[in-house]
Amino acid sequence: MKTGEKGSVRQEHIPLGILHMLVATVLFAVLTVRNPDAARVFSAMVEHGGPLATPLMPEQRVAIQADIASAFRAAFLTMAAFTAAGFFLAVTNPLKRI
């Protein structure tokens, strides 16, 4: 690296926006498949930045929290798959990086 190059290295990789979009898609797909009401509640929570304004019955709240937790597990598993793919590419050919 030469002096004055700002310390950055150009890498060829999949644009991060696509990966973020895929994780969000997995999150909302799992929510919608498991419980469409949970998807609506979670979407409202994200839009309004906090707890849901309308009260839920305790058993509904527990079910929705469980569905949201499982959707986040699937999203984090997707991120772990990206990491595993990057590791596999780095091990097989150090010149190819995600």
Rounded to whole angstroms, how far apart are CA atoms 47 and 53? 12
Residue 10 maps to a domain: no
Judge whether 68 and 38 are in contact, CB under 8 Å.
Answer: yes
Residue 3 maps to a domain: no
Q: Which residue segment(s) compose the domain that 71 sits in?
A: 16-48+60-92
- pLDDT for the residue 96: 57
50-60 average pLDDT score: 78
Number of domains in the chain: 1
Residue 6 maps to a domain: no
pLDDT band, residue 97 (cuts 50/70/90): low
Torsion of CA 72, 78, 84, 89, to 10 degrees: -150
Give all strands (DSSP E) within 1-98, no chain letters.
none
pTM over 0.75: no
